[in-house]
Amino acid sequence: MKILVTGSNGLLGNAIHLELNKSNHKYLNTSHTIGGLAKKVLDITSMDSVENVVSSFQPEAIINTAAMANVDKCEKDRGTCWDVNVNGVRNLSEVCDRYNIHLIHISTDYIFDGLKDDGIYFEDDKPSPLSVYGESKLASEKVIISSGIRSAILRTILVYGNHERKNIVTFIKEKLEMGEKVDLVSDQVRMPTFVDDLAKACISAVEKKAEGIYHVCGDKKMSYYDLGIAISSYFSLNSNLINHVQTKDLNQIAARPPITGFDLKKSISELDFDPTKLEDSLKKIFN
């Protein structure tokens, strides 16, 4: 199949490139700036840019990983956040409508408030975002659904993996290796997602022409603190460097949902999603 990928220099874009490289699909990596993996400039906030690339490449599917994904930056700069996360997705939806293209879009657990007792959310649970980022991603879902195009929205949680772009696992490991203290909260609980698993789920959604909302994340619920302890123990690093703190100690700009996890039955049965165990993913990332 012919697949256009946006945001190719990001954490997920990079993992999708590595997966597509092993496949028979023809694909084009793009980003709003040239360099890195991007072979073409595609700024999703510019309709001209979207139209130019799509009309010349003529993809059957677009995987949109482009986003303003820094939660605190979104809180400080609502305008740019909305432009990329909502207006950019509207541009992609319009072009998908015009050329009958299947759109695979990534959303987030931050559309939920994380106040559910067990913290496990289903695809049809009622969203209630606490931050500008969460609001923008929920708005992006609504733009796609109301456009009526063929689409799959994959919501995911705290993504980590192997990329120069810092992510939670590389951040914690680097800090501990340098002998520096790291503050990790125990009152924010997530189901961290190995980026390679998410990349495979995106490609599976393309191949299966999946439509609708899918929850895609790791299979284990843990706090940031638990994750730090697991990383220190796996790599035999000094766990005494991990400061056990609470959310109120961090003064984060945007509010975070306390506990978020996903029920995975739908993605396991319809996308053949198969989450990698944390220890196995650490082995894959750093070996």
Binding test (CB under 6 A) with ligand NAP, winner from 3, 20, 44, 149: 44
Position 213, amino acid: I
Cβ-based neighbour number of residue 64 at 10 Å: 26
Per CB under 6 A, 264 contacts ligand NAP: no
First CA to last CA across the chain, in angstroms?
A: 31
Contact 60, 104 (CB under 8 A): no
Nearer to ligand NAP, 102 or 163 (CB): 163
Find the Cα–Cα–Cα–Cα dihedral 38, 82, 63, 213, rounded to 10°: 160
90 vs 72: CA distance, rounded Å: 23
Residue 213's DSSP bridge partners are: 153
Per CB under 6 A, 240 contacts ligand NAP: no
Per CB under 6 A, 135 contacts ligand NAP: no
Q: What is the CA radius of gyration of the chain?
A: 18
Binding test (CB under 6 A) with ligand NAP, winner from 81, 106, 132, 172: 106
Per CB under 6 A, 114 contacts ligand NAP: no
Per CB under 6 A, 66 contacts ligand NAP: yes
Per CB under 6 A, 90 contacts ligand NAP: no
Binding test (CB under 6 A) with ligand NAP, winner from 5, 63, 84, 205: 84
Per CB under 6 A, 5 contacts ligand NAP: no
Binding test (CB under 6 A) with ligand NAP, winner from 3, 5, 7, 151: 7
Binding test (CB under 6 A) with ligand NAP, winner from 9, 162, 170, 232: 9
| Greatest C-alpha distance within the chain | 57
Query: Which of 21-29, 39-47, 218-226, 250-258 is the region at the interface with ligand NAP (rule: CB under 6 A)?
Result: 39-47
> Number of H helices and number of E strands within the chain?
12, 15
Residue 14's DSSP bridge partners are: none
Work out whether strand 189-190 and strand 222-223 pair parallel, antiparallel, or are unpaired.
Answer: antiparallel
Contact 133, 77 (CB under 8 A): no
Binding test (CB under 6 A) with ligand NAP, winner from 5, 28, 65, 231: 65
Nearer to ligand NAP, 4 or 12 (CB): 12
211 vs 180: CA distance, rounded Å: 45
Per CB under 6 A, 71 contacts ligand NAP: no
Nearest to 86 by CA among 32, 135, 33: 135
23 vs 5: CA distance, rounded Å: 15
Contact map string, positions 162 to 201, toward ligand NAP, x by CB under 6 A: ---x------------------------------------
CA 216, chain centre distance (Å): 9
Per CB under 6 A, 69 contacts ligand NAP: yes
Per CB under 6 A, 12 contacts ligand NAP: yes
Closest residue to bound ligand NAP by CB: 10
Q: Would you tell me which residues interact with ligand NAP (CB under 6 A)?
A: 6-7, 9-13, 31-33, 42-45, 65-67, 69, 84, 88, 106, 108, 137, 156-159, 165
